[in-house]
């Protein structure tokens, strides 16, 4: 019994990343640390939860800038609009075509069929329903446990593929209040996955404390105007799946909460670049 306790304790100390690290700036454990001249972590491999939206595309660029090998994963769970799944193919193709140094690091793309999540979700993302705020205070786009399931499935794929980090675009700054996007939820999940797999499984959330304007700024820092242009034209955010109206901030209906957030963020970002 005592031996088991010691083994688990050592597992936490040596293999599980600290609960209290700030994700974007985390250092690898001492033994694994191997920094390039730029001080970036170069030897580790990441799996990016990549939906084809603005946030996950920025996260993909962030990971490609830091990791020596990056793979992508998405989930098909009967979303009302498959626009995002189409957009992600285009984004991946353009990253390969326009960013040669990133293309060399960009590996396999995985799409998992999670039809069962659609079966157990009665939400505005999977059913033809109007987006409203429920009594709980959450919008009707909330798919219960979605991120918990996504990360858990992603960790299984990462384990098989020899990838030790999962990167996601979750954010607490100007999000819809989804409890499974919260930093503490994901840190707890990181510990649970690392223990459950008996292998390190770091959860990276580079956008966690950024607002939408800062997310645009991060994209600019990572990939300059070509990445800004790619995100504007090819990524998708609109809840209604509108790909016919092009605005300065990208395609969308311009009315739904996702479009509103994206528009406001882009306007704030534009003001900072004009200043």
Name the binding residues for ATP: 50-60
Among 111, 233, 253, 268, binds Zn ion (CB under 5 A): 253
Q: Which CB sits closer to Zn ion, 59 or 238?
A: 238
Question: What minimum distance in Å lies between the beta carbon of 166 and Zn ion?
Answer: 28
Q: Which CB sits closer to Zn ion, 83 or 106?
A: 83
Among 256, 262, 263, 269, binds Zn ion (CB under 5 A): 256
Among 41, 73, 154, 259, binds Zn ion (CB under 5 A): 259
Question: What minimum distance in Å lies between the beta carbon of 227 and Zn ion?
Answer: 22
Contact window for Zn ion (CB under 5 A) among 29-37, 129-137, 142-150, 258-266 = 258-266
Question: What minimum distance in Å lies between the beta carbon of 251 and Zn ion?
Answer: 9
Among 53, 206, 252, 265, binds Zn ion (CB under 5 A): 252
Contact window for Zn ion (CB under 5 A) among 73-81, 111-119, 150-158, 249-257 = 249-257
Q: Compute CA distances 154 → 18, 182, 203, whole Å.
A: 20, 18, 11
Concatenating the DSSP letter of every residue in the chain gives: -HHHHHHHHHHHHHHSPPTT--GGGPPPPGGG--B-TT--B-S-EEEEE--SSHHHHHHHHHHHHH-SEEEEEEEES--S--HHHHHHHHHHHHHHHH-HHHHTTEEEEEEEE-HHHHHH--STTTSS----B-TTS-BTT--TTHHHHHHHHHHHHHHHHT--EEE----SSS----GGGSHHHHHHHHHHHHHHHTS--EEE-TTTT--HHHHHHHHHHHHHHHHHHHHHHH----TT---S-EETTEES-S-SHHHHHHHHHHHHHHHHHH-
Q: Which CB sits closer to Zn ion, 98 or 247?
A: 247
Contact window for Zn ion (CB under 5 A) among 21-29, 69-77, 97-105, 247-255 = 247-255
Q: Which CB sits closer to Zn ion, 172 or 242?
A: 242
Question: What minimum distance in Å lies between the beta carbon of 257 and Zn ion?
Answer: 8
125: contact with Zn ion by CB under 5 A: no
Question: What minimum distance in Å lies between the beta carbon of 116 and Zn ion?
Answer: 27
Q: Compute CA distances 65 → 54, 141, 191, whole Å.
A: 17, 32, 25
Positions touching Zn ion (CB under 5 A) are: 238, 240, 252-253, 256, 259
């Amino acid at each position: 019994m005592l031996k088991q306790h010691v083994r688990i304790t050592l597992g936490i100390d040596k293999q599980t990343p600290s609960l209290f690290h700030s994700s974007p700036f985390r250092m690898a454990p001492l033994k694994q640390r191997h920094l390039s001249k730029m001080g970036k972590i170069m030897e580790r491999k990441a799996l990016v939860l990549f939906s084809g939206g603005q946030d996950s595309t920025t996260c993909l660029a962030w990971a490609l800038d830091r990791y020596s090998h990056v793979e992508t994963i998405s989930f098909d769970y009967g979303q009302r609009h498959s626009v995002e799944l189409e957009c992600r193919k285009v984004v991946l193709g353009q990253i390969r075509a326009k960013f040669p140094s990133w293309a060399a690091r960009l590996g396999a793309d995985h799409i998992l069929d999670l039809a069962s999540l659609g079966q157990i979700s009665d939400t505005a993302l999977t059913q033809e329903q109007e987006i409203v705020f429920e009594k709980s205070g959450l919008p009707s786009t909330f798919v219960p446990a979605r991120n918990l399931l996504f990360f858990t499935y992603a960790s299984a794929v990462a384990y098989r593929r020899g990838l030790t980090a999962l990167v996601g675009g979750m954010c607490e700054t100007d999000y819809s209040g989804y409890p499974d996007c919260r930093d503490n939820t994901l840190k707890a999940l990181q510990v649970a996955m690392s223990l459950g797999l008996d292998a390190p499984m770091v959860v990276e959330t580079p956008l966690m404390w950024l607002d939408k304007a800062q997310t645009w700024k991060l994209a600019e820092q990572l990939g300059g105007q070509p990445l800004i242009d790619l995100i504007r034209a090819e990524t998708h955010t609109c809840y209604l799946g509108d790909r016919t109206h092009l605005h300065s901030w990208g395609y969308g209906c311009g009315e739904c909460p996702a479009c509103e957030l994206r528009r406001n963020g882009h306007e704030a970002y534009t003001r900072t670049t004009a200043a």
